[in-house]
């Protein structure tokens, strides 16, 4: 089960890193949560304590919230904070965040399952 969790975290990181290129603190934070969750699951899968799976769960919860906030900002930028002149890049990142959210939630559920089983 931890290998399925590890693969899911790798997918989350692959989607989170390009999304962090937009200058939003929430998207930068969700990328850090994704990297931290992946590191915690790697340590857990290599024989670490079950506490690392709980840490991965916490990082998945925080990362999901940060990604949702970042996605909402990308979609509804009423204050005009993202005046980059690159609407296509913003749309691409919004699509990545929309694709990433279910994987983040799944990473949290899988991390919970691994933590409870261990």
Burial environment of residue 87 by CB neighbours within 10 A (0 to 12, 13 to 18, 19 or more): exposed
| Average confidence (pLDDT) over 111-116 | 96
Q: How far apart are CA 101 and CA 73, in angstroms?
A: 14
Say if pTM beats, i.e. exceeds, 0.85: yes
Instruction: Average the pLDDT over 88-99 and give the result.
Output: 87
Is pLDDT of 13 > 90? yes
pLDDT reported for residue 91? 82
Q: Which of helix, strand or coil describes residue 103?
A: helix
Domains of the chain, by residue range, sit at 2-117
Six token digits for residue 12: 């989350």
Report the candidate in 97, 1, 111, 106 with the shortest Cα–Cα distance to residue 58.
111
pLDDT at position 61 over 70: yes
Query: What pLDDT score does 78 carry?
Result: 57
Residue 95 has pLDDT above 70, yes or no: yes
Please, what is the average pLDDT of the chain?
Answer: 90
- pLDDT of residue 23 exceeding 90, the answer is no
Dihedral over alpha carbons 23, 25, 30, 36 (to 10 degrees): 110
pLDDT tens digits, 68-87: 999 998 888 655 666 655 56
What would the mean pLDDT of 59-69 be, rounded to a whole number? 97
Residue 77 gets which letter from DSSP? Answer: -
């Amino acid at each position: 089960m931890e290998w399925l969790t590890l693969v899911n975290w790798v997918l989350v990181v692959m989607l989170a890193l390009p999304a962090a290129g937009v200058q939003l603190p929430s998207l930068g934070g969700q990328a850090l949560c994704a990297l931290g969750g992946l590191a915690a699951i790697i340590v857990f899968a290599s024989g670490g304590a079950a506490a690392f799976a709980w840490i991965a769960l916490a990082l998945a919860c925080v990362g999901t919230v940060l990604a949702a906030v970042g996605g909402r900002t990308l979609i509804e930028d009423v204050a005009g904070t993202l005046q980059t002149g690159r609407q296509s890049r913003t749309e691409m990142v919004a699509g990545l965040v929309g694709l990433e959210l279910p994987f983040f939630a799944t990473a949290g559920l899988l991390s919970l399952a691994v933590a409870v089983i261990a």
